[in-house]
Chain A
């Protein structure tokens, strides 16, 4: 099942429930316009959505419902119980289709007849019973209230079938097919007069009928003069003789089910038509008995013979009564199946006698009598067959009901939960993770302070168990919040289409890794930055077709959005194969605008320079358009991504294209931080920023101008003392080997050494933003609670630079 269908089904269920509730509400306040409006809106939305899928049956019924509610809304019709019943019935029908779509991924065309019937019933309410046929099928549709399949009683009007028009050879072929067990159907397809405007080609539809044996075009009315002729008003209908199962016909005509009438054709009628006389029983029987019916008769006789043998058994087992009842049942069904509905009474009477007397004589006597009459009387006449076909559904005039009992409804497989509840769970599991971190402290105290080693060991063992469960729990809750990036990617089809149209460029959008999942908040927050990037790529990155062709590239530019998992992060790449960014121009622009000074200008590598596009106030576009180019986009992107603890990086090659990569954490809920110590205080550093921990001998420190640096693996790394940064009046401590503890942190693309006193362990924490008076402190990204109850301030390394 596609995510779209899944979403539709979930929404459809909600809407159906809403429809049910509003209808009940209307019972109490029938004139409340708000409720009626809401009801209309629900049906309208559901109808629109259903059109996205191949569910014409659902759309048809909802469309009729919408029209009905529109009439109520406009006061052309007042609310009534009958109306509510009909609408509830329709809602149940839609519910059934939804269930089917969920189980089987689609809706079977066999619902077509029901859909047509329901739609017509709804429309009948709009226009009153007299006018209903006109409204039912557009102009000129069959108005017998039964469009779709071989509905009950459909064969009754067979005498009117113009079978004589069918050429002899085709009738013979059809008859042969019927003998081989294929079903024959006669279709009258009367397309709506305005069907051409809906893009229908009814002639083509008629020609493509599965199993078509013969067909003809019928002119509905005499032609007007050519000058008055409206070529686009369909005045033709089609008649088709087809062999094959009715399901195939239903499915073929499912979009125009209300314009088609399918009737079963009895093979006998084909032959009768051949005689050119109204088909009488004698003709049919004479022709039909040597064929199919002979085989049937043999089968029938063998069934009757078997029943006789059973009745003649004299073993009298304890289940004899059940056996006799079964025999009677078989006899009744055989008779009814062959069109003999009068024997039922006789058989039932014989059965009663048999059971009363305790011997099988009465039933055997019935069998004897029947044998005398057979075979002629047992032969069904076409009329009898037709009658039995018509009689099978119990009460055809009522039609099937779609009322579903409450207990029938399968429990929804999806739960809609308030986001707040999930957030609460998330917070709770966060606290749980933090509190479980208290156990190791406790174990340590038990051992060190109280000297109970065994207890400490047990505590540690228990901690391992709780740790595992807590982590699984956290994982499970995270899964709840996970959403595929397709939620964001989907909107780009439209955006790219519209924008490229506006810009007069040809663009092919490629989406990859749409199923990649990340936390809902992350995905949602990515939407805006991605839109900025895509707009930029379309406007500045990709060239127009002429320019591209001149450069020897294909006319259509390719814009790729790719999402991948990278460990516990999601990476989203936006690639275009456009003109790329000219680093020289960019650097000059940045210098001219005063974003960098001349020294930086000279020193900057191309890689660094490229990422100047993320600086505020810099645009590479020569002109400002209404799409982009004001130089505000990219710094917004960087701010948004950094807000998500993500990074954004740009690579570009002139003439080849640009790639912008965003990496964001899968989830923002739990952060891993490394605890460091300086002047007796503990600080956290987000592990994402930590490159490595090194011990640098004090002798290896160099002063370059006013900054401390050191050489690490042949590279000069600037150093900064944490105490300095935080204004703590203390010197960094050294260990016994006269070495300083230096934490290498990455800030953007730069690496910087943070000099501190001591490294500690890494922990999972729930980071809370600083609030109140502390909110102004820029050095910290937040605070977290440690297992032992102390507060850990988490540093924001971005602020160091």
Chain B
């Protein structure tokens, strides 16, 4: 299985294909706060990728594959960061 679900985390390994998108989508609907571990991932099918994007899933571990990481960082990091910023904003505004 290229994807494996644990309590609060989904781990993607090797080549995550088109078939996994549906499963991931269903799972993320139940666990919206889950994070994704891409460490061993070499390629994500865009269907899967757009599920992660739409869910705003935070990346717990970036892929070792440098090329994939570079691609994903431009888009996935943004999503994670915005969330962080939002939270920061809340914390720093005592009003």
Contacts and interface: CB of A to CB of B under 8 A. Distances in A.
Contacts of A217: 46, 49, 53, 71-72, 74-75
A165, A201, A217, A231: most-surrounded residue (chain B CB, <10 A): A231
Nearest to A220: B50
Contact of B55 (A165, A216, A226, A232): A226
A218 B67 CA distance: 17
B71 A207 contact: yes
B60 interface: no
A231 B32 contact: no
Interface string A541-578: 00000000000000000000000000000000000000
Contacts of A235: 50
Contacts of B24: 231
A223 B56 CA distance: 10
Interface string A182-210: 00000000010000100001111011000
A234 B74 CA distance: 18
A359 to B, nearest CB: 64
B95 to A, nearest CB: 28
Q: Is the interface of B mostly helix, strand, loop or mixed?
A: helix
A151 B49 CA distance: 32
A231 B43 contact: no
A318 interface: no
Contact of A226 (B21, B28, B49, B71): B28
Contacts of A215: 70-71
B54 to A, nearest CB: 4
Given A223-B54, A229-B54, A231-B25, A203 B45 contact: yes
Contacts of B32: 226
Interface string B16-56: 00100110110011001000000000011111111101110
B50 A234 contact: yes
B53 A223 contact: yes
Q: Is the interface of A mostly helix, strand, loop or mixed?
A: mixed
A203 B44 CA distance: 8
A473 interface: no
A698 B53 CA distance: 103
Contacts of A214: 70
Interface string B61-77: 00000011011101100
B62 to A, nearest CB: 15
A202 B55 contact: no
Contacts of B71: 203, 206-207, 215-217
Contact of A203 (B28, B49, B70, B74): B49
Contacts of A218: 75
A202 B46 contact: yes
- Which bracket fits the contact residues of A? 20 to 34
Interface string A224-247: 101101011011100000000000
B67 A231 contact: no
Nearest to A214: B70
A172 B70 CA distance: 17
A204 B67 CA distance: 11
Contacts of B70: 214-215
B38 to A, nearest CB: 14
Contacts of A349: none
Given A207-B67, A216-B74, A236-B50, A201 B29 contact: no
B33 to A, nearest CB: 12
Contact of B25 (A202, A229, A236): A229
B24, B46, B51: most-surrounded residue (chain A CB, <10 A): B46
A156 interface: no
Nearest to A224: B54
A234 B45 CA distance: 11
Nearest to A228: B54
Nearest to A203: B46
B40 to A, nearest CB: 17
B16 to A, nearest CB: 11
A218 B49 CA distance: 11
Contacts of A224: 54
A234 B48 CA distance: 10
A219 B46 contact: no
B31 to A, nearest CB: 11
B68, B74, B75: most-surrounded residue (chain A CB, <10 A): B74
Interface string A20-60: 00000000000000000000000000000000000000000
B43 A207 contact: yes
Given A226-B25, A234-B46, A219 B67 contact: no
Contacts of A219: 50, 53, 75
B77 to A, nearest CB: 11
Contacts of B25: 226, 229, 231
B67 A201 contact: no
Contacts of A234: 46-47, 50
Contact of B29 (A203, A226, A236): A226
Nearest to B29: A226
A236 B74 contact: no
B2 to A, nearest CB: 14
B54 A232 contact: no
A203 B43 contact: yes
Contacts of B46: 191, 196, 201-203, 217, 234, 236
Contacts of B50: 219, 229, 231, 234-236
14 contacts: A196-B46, A203-B44, A203-B49, A207-B67, A224-B54, A226-B28, A226-B32, A226-B55, A231-B21, A231-B24, A231-B25, A232-B22, A236-B46, A236-B49
Given A217-B49, A231-B21, 14 more contacts: A196-B46, A203-B44, A204-B43, A207-B43, A216-B74, A216-B75, A217-B46, A219-B75, A226-B28, A226-B29, A226-B54, A229-B54, A231-B48, A232-B18
Interface of B: 18, 21-22, 24-25, 28-29, 32, 43-51, 53-55, 67-68, 70-72, 74-75
